[in-house]
Amino acid sequence: MIKHSILSRIFLLAILLSLARGAEASDGVFCIQNTASGNFLSDADHDLWDLCSSGEKWSLTRHPEGLYCLKNNFARRYLGADGLLVPTCGRGQLWEFIPEGDGSYCIKNRATAKHLGESATAAQQSCGQAERWSLIPILS
């Protein structure tokens, strides 16, 4: 039991150090936190929550183009360009994670070329402080 706990902590530390260096996003399960508000992207359309609970856990799946689908683990639906959750991952549900060098990311939709904003909609042409997000890894 102790060995498992230590290994989990070492793994988590390695992921956090990698992300803090501006590393590429990776497949896995994450809570996605807005760096300006501290709130988490949730399964409620157009909404953010102040806790990272079951409705705020997202699976990132990398596609060959280097883009990602974001699937909410609770709703089992994908984040669309308009901030709504949809049943499948198509062109409008592909997102680019752009490292900002401080461990945060700008998350840009491929179809609209707009960034995911603080109000959980992809409506911003540029990426300012309110459009930056941190990935918090969730260990199973």
Lowest mean pLDDT: which of 32-41, 48-57, 71-80? 48-57
**Tens of pLDDT, residues 71-108:** 999 999 999 988 889 999 998 999 999 999 999 999 99
pLDDT at 66 over 80: yes
Distances (CA, A) of 117 to 7, 21, 36: 35, 23, 10
Is residue 87 within 8 A of residue 115, CB to CB? The reply is no
Average pLDDT over residues 114-121: 78
pLDDT at 9 over 70: no
Domains, the chain, ordered by start = 2-137 (2.80.10.50)
